């Protein structure tokens, strides 16, 4: 990136220069000082700062070539973020951020303190922009930005707040520019906005919940005319404290004529090249890491990380005595090792266990045990086995719902995920029922939740 700085006595000469068209012009007015957007003069005490933004010629020269192409805002810029941070010697502390929509060509940035400060401009392919890392406040004030007319006068305020906690990666980036607002001086700065690797079309997005049974999608793109990626060299990994095993596919994409399919963009044409990433990750919340480098004479390294949560469902499981038979006591075990989840709780009920299970038979005594490998249950049991016993005097008649338990799963389980084995069945006279009656399970309902519950 190049930064050029000059001093002038009047802001009028800053706009409409023949050698370099202005994409965004920012005039910074110091409150309480002379000068103004339409005065044509910085005044005896007023200070001003103007930026002329030049888009990366590697992107702009595709259409017409040369410096004239700086008129073209790249299609991959939908929003521009402007952020300001005051320095230690400024009149007052200020850190502010504003998002300005594509198409605003001449702007005034007002309310900035006299003295040291720094400004950065960043382009995004999205309608919202995040708060920059260099601003520590979660919800910084919105920088005041006004439209500037042909006469240099300030008009309506434009712009909206930057979003805290939003994960978006810029498509174009300018350097942080250190400035000093000096009374009576207008400084002009030419800032090159360079195309950088960015992620879009993320599904799920950062912070979203997502079933581990479904694939993750993201597109890694670059707006450079001659820039691309060796998609085979892109590295993708998942971690949740430890590295996770996963499978992924990565293929080239392009929005350029004659280079697709597949296209990188869906809907609006961003005019980019890149790689479409699809990956399948194992169960659990995870951080996705994507890194690699661009194919340039001077390659650009990049690395992006964002976290997703696994979508889970809370399901009500119901066991039912399927046969028309009178029962005094019934014991059975259920192997749920093939189910996509766990019975909530553990231990022995009623002996201080935490299992979320309950009897549905009036006046029946019930006991449940699922030790999750902790050895709390009597006898030898596998980790994912639930033991259940019911007894009632004078008994209960089938068919009837017997018990219910709660399962937390990564997807809706089905009855075929469970294997039920009858251990013992007696009638109300304590005589064994031969053959034993059948017990069935059904998934009564499942409700989506996020994270472990």
- Picking from 9, 20, 11, the residue whose alpha carbon sits closest to that of residue 190 is 20
Q: What DSSP designation does 112 have?
A: P
pLDDT of residue 344: 86
pLDDT at 435: 94
pLDDT recorded at residue 332: 95
DSSP H helix total and E strand total for the chain: 1, 30
How far is residue 211's CA from residue 299's CA, in Å, rounded to a whole number? 36
Pairing of strands 286-293, 235-239: antiparallel
The CATH number of the structural domain formed by 3-195 is: 2.60.40
First to last CA, the chain: 49
Query: Token pair of 317, please?
Result: 């499981």
d(CA 75, CA 383): 56
Residue ranges per domain, the chain?
A: 3-195, 198-299, 313-450
CATH number of 198-299: 2.60.40
Cβ count near 106 (within 10 Å):
21
In this prediction, residue 23 carries a pLDDT of 40
The C-alpha atoms of residue 344 and residue 403 are separated, in whole angstroms, by 14
Asked whether 269 and 289 are in contact (CB, 8 A), the reply is: no
Domains 198-299 and 313-450 share a fold: yes
Distances in whole angstroms, Cα of residue 181 to Cα of each of 23, 143, 187, 191:
22, 16, 8, 17
Element spanning 58, H or E? helix 57-60
CATH code of 313-450, in short, is: 2.60.40
pLDDT on residue 379? 57
Q: Which residues pair with 106 in a beta bridge?
A: 25
Beta strand pairing status for 186-195 and 48-55?
A: parallel
Per-residue pLDDT, 187 = 63
The answer to whether the predicted template modeling score (pTM) of the entire model surpasses 0.75 is no
C-alpha distances (whole Å) from 218 to each of 17, 265, 306 are 41, 11, 11
Q: What does each of the 453 residues of the chain score in pLDDT, given as a tens digit?
A: 333 333 222 222 222 222 223 344 455 544 433 333 333 333 323 345 666 777 776 664 443 333 333 446 888 899 999 999 988 888 888 899 999 988 766 777 777 778 888 889 999 999 999 999 999 888 899 988 877 777 666 678 888 999 998 889 999 999 998 887 766 565 667 778 888 889 888 777 766 666 666 678 888 888 877 666 778 888 887 776 555 566 678 888 888 877 767 888 877 788 888 888 887 766 667 788 888 877 766 677 888 887 777 777 889 999 999 999 999 999 999 999 899 888 888 777 777 678 899 999 988 999 998 866 555 566 556 678 899 999 998 899 999 999 999 998 877 899 999 999 999 999 999 999 999 999 999 999 888 775 444
């Amino acid at each position: 990136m190049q930064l050029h700085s000059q001093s002038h006595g009047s802001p009028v000469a800053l706009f409409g220069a023949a050698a370099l068209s202005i994409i965004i012009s920012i005039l910074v007015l110091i409150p309480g000082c002379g000068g103004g957007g339409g005065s044509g003069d910085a005044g005896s005490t007023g200070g001003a700062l103007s930026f002329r933004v030049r888009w990366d010629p590697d992107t702009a020269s595709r259409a017409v070539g040369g410096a004239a192409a700086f008129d073209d805002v790249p299609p991959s810029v939908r929003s521009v973020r402007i952020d300001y941070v005051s320095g230690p010697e400024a009149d007052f502390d200020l850190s502010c951020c504003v998002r300005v929509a594509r198409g605003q060509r001449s702007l005034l940035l007002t309310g900035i303190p006299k003295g040291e400060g720094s400004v950065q401009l960043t382009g995004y392919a999205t309608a919202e922009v995040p708060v920059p890392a260099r601003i520590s406040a979660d919800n910084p004030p919105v920088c005041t930005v006004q439209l500037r007319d042909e006469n240099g006068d300030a008009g309506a305020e434009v712009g909206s707040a930057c979003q805290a906690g939003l994960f978006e990666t810029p498509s174009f980036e300018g350097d942080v520019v250190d400035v000093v607002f000096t009374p009576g001086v207008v400084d002009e700065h030419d800032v090159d906005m360079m195309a950088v690797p960015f992620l879009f079309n993320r599904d799920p997005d950062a912070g979203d919940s997502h079933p581990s049974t479904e694939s993750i999608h993201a597109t890694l793109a670059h707006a450079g005319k001659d820039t691309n990626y060796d998609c085979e060299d892109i590295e993708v990994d998942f971690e949740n404290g430890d590295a996770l095993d996963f499978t992924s596919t990565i293929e080239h994409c392009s929005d350029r004529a004659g280079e697709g399919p597949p296209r990188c963009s869906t809907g609006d044409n961003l005019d980019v090249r890149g790689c479409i990433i699809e990956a399948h990750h194992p169960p659990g919340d995870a951080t996705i890491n994507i890194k690699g480098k661009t194919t340039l004479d001077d390659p650009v390294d990049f690395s992006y990380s964002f976290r997703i949560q696994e979508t889970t469902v809370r399901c009500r499981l119901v066991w039912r005595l399927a046969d028309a038979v009178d029962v005094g006591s019934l014991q059975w075990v259920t192997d749920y090792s093939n189910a996509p989840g766990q019975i909530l709780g553990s231990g022995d009920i009623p002996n201080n266990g935490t299992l979320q299970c309950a009897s549905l038979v009036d006046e029946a005594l019930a006991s449940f045990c699922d030790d999750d490998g902790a050895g709390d249950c009597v006898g030898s049991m596998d980790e994912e086995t639930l033991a259940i016993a019911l007894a009632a005097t004078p008994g209960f008649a089938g068919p009837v719902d017997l018990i219910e338990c709660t399962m937390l799963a990564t997807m809706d389980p089905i009855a075929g995920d469970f294997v039920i084995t009858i251990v013992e069945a007696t009638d109300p006279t304590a005589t064994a029922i031969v053959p034993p009656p059948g017990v069935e399970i059904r998934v009564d309902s499942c409700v989506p939740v996020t994270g472990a519950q």
